[in-house]
Amino acid sequence: MLLTAENLTKSYGGVQALKGASLELRAGEVHALIGENGAGKSTLIKIITGAVTPDGGELRLNGELIAENSPPRAKALGIAAIYQQPALFATLTVAENIALGLEAQGLWRRVDWRARQRRAADLLAQVGARIDAQALAGELSMPQQQLVEIARAIGAEAKVLIMDEPTASLSAEDTEHLYDVINRLRARGVGIIYISHRLEELPIIADRVTVLRDGCTIETHPMAEVSRQDLIRLMVGRELSAVFPKREVARGEVLLELQALGCRASGVKNVNLQLRAGEIVGLAGLVGAGRTELARTIFGLTPADEGAILLRGKRITISSPAAAIAHGIAYVPEDRRRHGVVLDLPISENITLASLPHFTQLGALDFARERTTAAACVAQFAIKTPALFAPAATLSGGNQQKVALSRWLTAKPSVLILDEPTQGIDVGAKSEIHALMCDLAEQGMAILMISSELPEVLGMSDRVAVMQHGSLAGVLERAEATPQAVLLLALGNAAPAEPRDRQKNQGQKS
């Protein structure tokens, strides 16, 4: 056995993150590790990489006990991790980021810049990344940053490689490249711990799967012997009736309308779209189609310089996020750690940050009211935290997403823009957030949901707007939004007429 974690325990204050977690990893194996947010996956991985010291249990590599583990010790032993949120230095080049930790260190060491560039280019090619090694990391998209992280880990020639949601921000093409890389690593005897909430990809890539729940190891199975429904049942401890609990809601007035909207700086051009009260509009498209750029333009992060934005029929100017908030428009961004929450601030302050005027009197903050509101949000969203005053950085990714969502709902917006709202969130939490979206729609909110997961777009949307090269390629009603129709629009082809015609024919027959 390559790596063995046996009966690990760990507590943070009053929260017991691990109550007896165990995991065995074989050489040349891809071992999936799954569980709901808060199940203990992150804590287990931090123990393996030396970032956290367990309260009890043992960790062994090739049968040898790892005593006094630490990040440098784990690295020396050949343990590497690729985390869900890339940890690159924005002001350094891609080649420099890859070189960190791979090249020999020393105060007077001379850098072979050409060799560094060649090595970075070779590692990027291995993961199928079309990225300039001389580009600044801060200029890369999230999927590109993640590919750089994967290239760096491969360069470290790790014996144990931990991948935390590696495909969360990747396109289908980049995901296939990643699978090829994983298969090559498996053939070289590397053991891979693969954490993913995309259960549909596990049969493709994983050999075995271990399920964590409430800090405990529930079961381990060969991947071929369990179904998706089996895994869901093991993860949540109950049958999950619907991941996409969409409810029909009567659509009301047009709350937000975009007329020939454009922003030269972000590549958005000539977008015409309406959002109605009680409606969820899914925004689909391939990576780089301009979905996030459109959201940032609506919210004033990259203000529009063409066209118009109308709110309830009246033209408005959104030159900044503050202006968007004042008009009742909220935006939960894709990268929650960089833009969704303030990691160093307490949970209570994160929740009230977008609506501070409602918690102040004569310039003084009403702390009691802030605590009451934050406590209500923690209860409503089932945010797992030892205290309201715990920093947001101490929460799991899913719980951070809930805090980010709570912040904007506290501001009571009429239009809510959600960019990848369930990215990196387990199926149980996905169902909860989807149900909340339906609740908000029933209350008359208009929701624009950006998602790279086509089942989510099709399952939750009243209409699907498809972007292509910064423009709107077309809008499909729920009944005509098939995977084929969405893909055709995303690729720049006309939507097929068949679904609409079939709908009409069925109506005539009935």
Q: What pLDDT, in 10s, does the model give residues 153-210?
A: 888 888 999 998 888 777 778 788 889 889 988 998 999 999 988 888 999 999 999 9
Q: What is the mean predicted confidence (pLDDT) over 34-39?
A: 79
Question: What's the pLDDT band for 472 if we cut at 50, 70, 90?
Answer: very high
- The burial class, CB within 10 Å (0-12 / 13-18 / 19+), for 60 is middle
pLDDT given at position 300: 95
pLDDT given at position 290: 92
Highest-scoring range by mean pLDDT, 10-19, 110-119, 240-249, 493-502: 110-119
Question: What's the pLDDT band for 505 if we cut at 50, 70, 90?
Answer: very low
Question: What's the pLDDT band for 242 if we cut at 50, 70, 90?
Answer: low
Three-point CA angle 75, 217, 203, nearest 5°:
80
Read off φ and ψ for residue 31, nearest 5 degrees.
-110, 110
Question: What's the pLDDT band for 144 if we cut at 50, 70, 90?
Answer: confident
Question: What's the pLDDT band for 501 if we cut at 50, 70, 90?
Answer: very low
Q: Name, in order, each residue with C-beta under 8 angstroms of 49's C-beta and a sequence gap of 6 or more.
A: 71, 74, 79, 81, 162
Does residue 62 register a pLDDT over 90?
Answer: yes
Higher pLDDT, 427 or 431: 431
- For the chain, what percent of residues have pLDDT higher than 70? 90
Does residue 239 register a pLDDT over 60?
Answer: no
Higher pLDDT, 364 or 29: 29
CB 486 within 8 A of CB 506: no
Least confident of 141-145, 370-374, 490-494: 490-494
pLDDT given at position 502: 38
Strand partners, 5: 23, 59
Does residue 510 register a pLDDT over 70?
Answer: no
The DSSP H or E segment spanning 231 is: helix 228-236
Higher pLDDT, 499 or 278: 278
CB 211 within 8 A of CB 218: yes
Per the prediction, the chain carries an average pLDDT of 86
Does residue 240 register a pLDDT over 80?
Answer: no
**DSSP string covering 348-393, please?**
HHHHHGGGGGGGEETTEE-HHHHHHHHHHHHHHHT---S-TTSBGG
Q: For the chain, how far is it from start to end, CA to CA, in angstroms?
A: 63
Q: Whose CA is closest to 210, among 57, 34, 38, 42? A: 34
Does residue 497 register a pLDDT over 70?
Answer: no
Q: What pLDDT, in 10s, does the model give residues 309-360?
A: 999 999 999 999 999 999 999 998 876 666 668 888 888 888 888 777 778 8
CATH class of 254-328+413-509: alpha beta
Q: Which residues of 249-274 are buried (b: 16+ CB within 10 A; e: fewer)?
A: beeeebbbbbeebbbeebbbbebebb
Does residue 67 register a pLDDT over 60?
Answer: yes
Q: What pLDDT, in 10s, does the model give residues 9-36?
A: 998 776 788 999 999 999 999 999 998 7
Token digits of residue 124: 């990027």
pTM summary value: 0.59
Read off φ and ψ for residue 211, nearest 5 degrees.
-110, 125
Question: What's the pLDDT band for 107 if we cut at 50, 70, 90?
Answer: low
CB 205 within 8 A of CB 29: no
The CA radius of gyration of the chain, in Å to the nearest whole number, is 24
Q: Whose CA is closest to 218, among 42, 25, 22? A: 22
Q: How far is CA 371 from the centre of its chain?
A: 28
pLDDT given at position 287: 74
CA–CA dist 42, 195 (Å, integer)? 9
Side chain identity, residue 477: E
CB 196 within 8 A of CB 175: no
Does residue 364 register a pLDDT over 70?
Answer: yes
CA–CA dist 436, 428 (Å, integer)? 13
Indicate the SS3 state at residue 311: strand
CB 23 within 8 A of CB 210: yes
Q: What is the mean predicted confidence (pLDDT) over 231-260?
A: 81
Q: What pLDDT, in 10s, does the model give residues 295-314?
A: 999 999 999 999 999 999 99
pLDDT given at position 498: 39
Tally of CA atoms within 13 A in the half-sphere of 320 that contains its CB: 3
Q: Which fold has domain 3-236?
A: Rossmann fold (3.40.50)
pLDDT given at position 389: 85
CA-to-CA dists, residue 47 to 5, 208, 320, angstroms: 9, 21, 42
**Range(s) of the chain covered by CATH 3.40.50.300:** 3-236, 254-328+413-509
